[in-house]
Amino acid sequence: MIDIAEVSLWYDRAHKALDRVSETIRRGQTVVICGPSGSGKSSLLRCINGLEAFQEGTIRVDGVSVRDPRTDIHRLRAEIGMVFQHFELYPHMTVMQNITLAPMRVRKKARAEAEQKAMALLERVGIPEKAARYPEELSGGQKQRVAIARALAMEPKIMLFDEPTSALDPEMIKEVLDVMTGLAQEGMTMVVVTHEMGFARTVADRIVFMSEGRVVETGTGRDFFERPQHERTRQFLDRILL
Amino acid sequence: MDTGVIIRNFGFMMGGLGLTLQLAAITIVGGLILGILLALARLSSRFWLYWPATAYIHFFRGLPLILVIFWLYFLFPVITGKPVNAYVAAIVSFVVFEAAYFAEIVRAGIQSIPRGQTMAARASGLSARDTAMYVILPQALRNMVPALVTQAVVIFQDTSLGYVIGLREFLRRVNLVDAREARSVELYLFAGLVYFAICSAGSLASQRLEKGRQRMHPA
Ligand SMILES: Nc1ncnc2c1ncn2[C@@H]1O[C@H](COP(=O)(O)OP(=O)(O)O)[C@@H](O)[C@H]1O
Ligand SMILES: [Mg+2]
């Protein structure tokens, strides 16, 4: 479903953010990406939906090449939901408007239909009563659940999560992870950058460890935690599992 | 001091204030629209949008407004062979000139919005145009209101330059009355008071808005 082949990305000539990264993510899989800060995890996610113009390699989503100039990138992005560490809800819009904007502007849905879908999604993430509120009136966990609902409103085939719980107070992490776990169980294809190793262990089909722009190691949950192959992975796990 | 001269000519002079306010209003609306387009072009990654917009902004910010008015009013007819109406010349000069200043205010406003907002909008499939229209500009304009009000006050003062090509705006009418009555001290003090009162009201409004904004978005 997502085919990443030999992707390299430079932000400037001196600095290589991604170094020949290859990964294949199949339909319905949940892949967790972890690694130290600055290792290129966010950059890789942004390459998948074409927000970052990588210079080398190819990424195909459902067979469609992301960097091909003939690809309708807006249509491709509409199929890929993205959730951010700092939520990135639109502060000048209500929760409802946040969720319905893209379905109405990109999918050209009628308002009534978009709002009905939005309410159903708010039910699903457990906060239907917040529809008319503004983001600043919500807690962090609620904001992130709205952000997930906003991404799901486009009925995406793939969901990308970039450290969705890193900015949350500990007591709010679970409510967000629960929603994500539910999605994974329903068969959503997900790429999740996270350091929540409990989530990685129980939900991920595969774990990818990155360091300095490279994929150092990849394995199933069990292998990854019990038999890490590389010294760097071991050091990272020791630090994170303390 | 003879305040009688002001009372006798009050209606005539204040009639010019109507034109002054009209010039200012058209300049503010036209300049802001052109300024937004220039700012968006300047922030574009396409060089054929970026370079002309940047050159335009630097060019007009490097000139005194009076020179732009002179060019349009005296030089343009020489090239085209047709005279330019003073009102049209003033409006066009003001809009074209002030747009460069609005563009920089708008650019700063847009750049004050975190990059993540653009990222989230683009990630959802929104076009660049929709991202600007629905996500970035509404937030940016809200942040810019105090700076825009300040610029509006400056424009209100700048319209007095319409005088040099014979527009009978407020200051020109005061000047005409003075030519007839020879009461410079009283008349120009009065003109100063009128400008000062209107500009102070504008500045005060700007400060109010700034405080209101900080209450809404602390930090
Ligand atoms: N927009 C950008 N411009 C320049 N450099 C960037 C940009 N985004 C990320 N980088 C650099 O690329 C590297 C990888 O960053 P990132 O993908 O954010 O890593 P991670 O998400 O793993 O912390 C870092 O060295 C970072 O400084
Ligand atoms: Mg990151």
pLDDT of the residue at A231: 83
pLDDT digits (tens, 9 = 90+) for A28-38: 999 999 999 99
pLDDT digits (tens, 9 = 90+) for A178-208: 999 999 999 999 999 999 988 998 999 999 9
> Quick check: B126 and A101 CB within 8 A?
yes
Rounded to whole angstroms, how far apart are CA atoms B150 and B95? Answer: 16
**Torsion angle defined by CA atoms of residues B85, B86, B87 and B90, in that order, rounded to the nearest 10 degrees:** 120
CB A91 within 8 A of CB B134: no
Average pLDDT, stretch A93-118?
Answer: 95
CA of A223 to the centre of ligand 2 (A): 25
Q: Which residues contact A52 (CB under 8 A, 6 or more apart)?
A: A9, A43, A46
A232: exposed, middle or buried (C-beta count within 10 Å: 0-12, 13-18, 19+)?
Answer: middle
> Quick check: A78 and B125 CB within 8 A?
yes
**Torsion angle defined by CA atoms of residues B203, B208, B211 and B216, in that order, rounded to the nearest 10 degrees:** -130
Q: Which amino acid is at B163?
A: Y
Q: What is the ipTM of this complex?
A: 0.91
Q: What is the 3-state secondary structure (H, E, C) of chain B?
A: CCCHHHHHHHHHHHHHHHHHHHHHHHHHHHHHHHHHHHHHHHHCCCHHHHHHHHHHHHHHHCCCHHHHHHHHHHHHHHHHCCCCCHHHHHHHHHHHHHHHHHHHHHHHHHHCCCHHHHHHHHHCCCCHHHHHHHHHHHHHHHHHHHHHHHHHHHHHHHHHHHHHHCCCCHHHHHHHHHHHHCCHHHHHHHHHHHHHHHHHHHHHHHHHHHHHHHHHCCC
Secondary structure letter of residue A93 according to DSSP:
S
As given in the structure block, the two tokens for residue B198 are: 């209107």
CA dist A95 to A78, A183, B205, Å?
Answer: 19, 21, 31
Provide the 10 A C-beta neighbour count for residue B43.
17
> Quick check: A49 and B130 CB within 8 A?
no
pLDDT of the residue at B218: 45
Q: Which residues contact A23 (CB under 8 A, 6 or more apart)?
A: A2, A4, A31, A208, A215, A218
Rounded to whole angstroms, how far apart are CA atoms B161 and A242? Answer: 72
Buried b (16+ CB within 10 A) or exposed e, A31-67: bbbbbbeebbbbbbbbbbbbbbebeebebbbeeeebb
Q: Which fold has domain B4-216?
A: MetI-like fold (1.10.3720)
A14 lines ligand 1 (CB under 6 A): no
CA-A46 nearest atom, ligand 1 = 17
> Quick check: A92 and B139 CB within 8 A?
yes
Q: Which of A46, A81, A105 is nearest residue B126 as measured by Cβ atoms?
A: A105
Q: How many residues are listed for chain B in this entry?
A: 219
Task: Report the residue of A86, A87, A105 to disrupt the B interface, i.e. the one with the largest count of B CBs within 10 Å.
Answer: A105
A42 lines ligand 1 (CB under 6 A): yes
pLDDT of the residue at B219: 37
Q: Which residues of B touch A86 (CB under 8 A)?
A: 114, 116
pLDDT digits (tens, 9 = 90+) for A29-66: 999 999 999 999 999 999 999 999 999 999 999 999 99
Host H or E run for residue A8: strand A2-12
CB B167 within 8 A of CB B87: yes
Nearest-neighbour CA in chain A from B135: distance (Å): 7
Buried b (16+ CB within 10 A) or exposed e, A71-90: eebbebbbbbbbbbbbbbbb
CB A76 within 8 A of CB A124: no
Q: Which residue has the tokens 């330059």?
A: B161
Q: Which amino acid is at B79?
A: I
pLDDT of the residue at B110: 93
Give domain limits for chain B. Answer: 4-216
- Top pLDDT among A223 and A45 is at A45
Task: Report the residue of B118, B124, B144, B215 to disrupt the A interface, i.e. the one with the largest count of A CBs within 10 Å.
Answer: B124
Three-state SS for A154?
Answer: coil
Segments in chain B below pLDDT 70: 213-219
Q: Which of B120, B134, B139 is nearest residue A84 as measured by Cβ atoms?
A: B120
Helices within chain A (DSSP H only): 41-48, 73-78, 95-105, 111-124, 140-152, 170-185, 197-203, 221-226, 231-240
As given in the structure block, the two tokens for residue A63 are: 């067979």
Pocket test for ligand 1, best of A32, A42, A84, A86 (most atoms within 8 A of CB): A42
